[in-house]
Structure 1
Amino acid sequence: MKKLLILGAGTAGTMMANHLNKKLNNNEWSITIVDQEEKHYYQPGFLFIPFEIYSEKDVVKQKKQFIPNQIEFIQSPIQVIEAEKNQVILENNTTLHYDILIIATGCRIVPSEIEGLDEGWRKNIFDFYTFDGSIALRDKFKEWNGGKLVVHLAEMPIKCPVAPLEFLFLSDWFFTEKGIRKDVEITYVTPLGSAFTKPRASAVLGKLFEEKNIKLVPNFNVSHIESENNKLVSLDGKEVNYDLLVTIPTNMGDELIERSDLGDELNFVPTDKHTLQSKAHDNIFVIGDATDIPASKAGSVAHFEAEILTENIISFINNKPLEAKFDGHANCYIESGYNKAFLIDFNYDVEPVEGTFPLPGIGPFSLLKETRINHLGKMAFKFIYWNMLLKGIPIPTVPPHMKTSGKKL
Structure 2
Amino acid sequence: MKKLLILGAGTAGTMMANHLNKKLNKNEWSITIIDQDEKHYYQPGFLFIPFEIYSEKDVIKEKRRFLPPGVEFIQSPIQIIEAEKNQVKLNDGKIIPYDILIIATGCRIVPSEIEGLDEGWRKNIFDFYTFDGSVALRNKLKEWKGGRLVVHLAEMPIKCPVAPLEFLFLSDWFFAKKGIRKDVDITYVTPLGSAFTKPRASAVLGNLFVTKNIHIVPNFNVSHVEADQNKLVSLDGKEVEYDLLVTIPTNMGDEMIERSGLGDELNFVPTDKHTLQSKNYENIFVIGDATDIPASKAGSVAHFEAEILTENIISFINNKPLEAKFDGHANCYIESGYNKAFLIDFNYDVEPVEGTFPLAGIGPFSLLKETRINHLGKMAFKFIYWNMLLKGIPIPTVPPHMKTSGKKL
TM-score normalised by length of structure 1? 1.00
Aligned twin of 1:345: 345
Aligned twin of 1:162: 162
Aligned twin of 1:369: 369
Q: Name the SS of the counterpart of 2:356 in structure 1.
A: strand
Aligned twin of 1:187: 187
**Structure 2: any 5+ residue segments left out of the alignment?**
none
**Deviations, residues 77-111 of structure 1 (Å, cap 9, x unaligned):** 00000000000000011100000000000000000
Aligned twin of 1:23: 23
Percent identity for Structure 1 against Structure 2 = 89
Report how many aligned residue pairs link the two structures: 409
- Measured in 2, the distance between the counterparts of 1:38 and 1:371 equals 37
- Measured in 2, the distance between the counterparts of 1:289 and 1:151 equals 22
- Measured in 2, the distance between the counterparts of 1:164 and 1:178 equals 21
Cα deviation for residue 69 of structure 1 reads: 1.4
Aligned twin of 1:141: 141
- Measured in 1, the distance between the counterparts of 2:142 and 2:173 equals 15
- Structure-to-structure mapping, 1:138-287, within 5 angstroms: 138-287=138-287
Aligned twin of 1:394: 394
Aligned twin of 2:132: 132
- Measured in 1, the distance between the counterparts of 2:359 and 2:268 equals 35
**Deviations, residues 109-137 of structure 1 (Å, cap 9, x unaligned):** 00000000000000000000000000000
**Counterpart amino acid of residue 281 in structure 1:** Y
Aligned twin of 1:47: 47
Aligned twin of 1:75: 75
1:380 and 2:380 are equivalent in the alignment? yes
Q: Name the SS of the counterpart of 2:228 in structure 1.
A: helix
- Measured in 2, the distance between the counterparts of 1:175 and 1:337 equals 11
Cα deviation for residue 322 of structure 1 reads: 0.1
Aligned twin of 1:295: 295
- Measured in 2, the distance between the counterparts of 1:119 and 1:353 equals 42
Aligned twin of 2:112: 112
Please give the root-mean-square deviation of Cα atoms over the aligned residues, in Å: 0.2
**Counterpart amino acid of residue 65 in structure 1:** R
- Measured in 2, the distance between the counterparts of 1:194 and 1:316 equals 42
**Deviations, residues 210-269 of structure 1 (Å, cap 9, x unaligned):** 000000000000000000000000000000000000000000000000000000000000
1:92 and 2:92 are equivalent in the alignment? yes
TM-score normalised by length of structure 2? 1.00
**Counterpart amino acid of residue 194 in structure 2:** S
**Counterpart amino acid of residue 11 in structure 1:** T
Cα deviation for residue 303 of structure 1 reads: 0.0
Structure 1 runs of 4+ off > 4 angstroms? Answer: none
**Deviations, residues 29-49 of structure 1 (Å, cap 9, x unaligned):** 000000000000000000000
Aligned twin of 1:13: 13
Q: Name the SS of the counterpart of 1:229 in structure 2.
A: coil
- Measured in 1, the distance between the counterparts of 2:92 and 2:232 equals 42
- Measured in 2, the distance between the counterparts of 1:382 and 1:388 equals 10
- Measured in 1, the distance between the counterparts of 2:265 and 2:330 equals 25
Q: Name the SS of the counterpart of 1:205 in structure 2.
A: helix
- Measured in 2, the distance between the counterparts of 1:205 and 1:295 equals 20
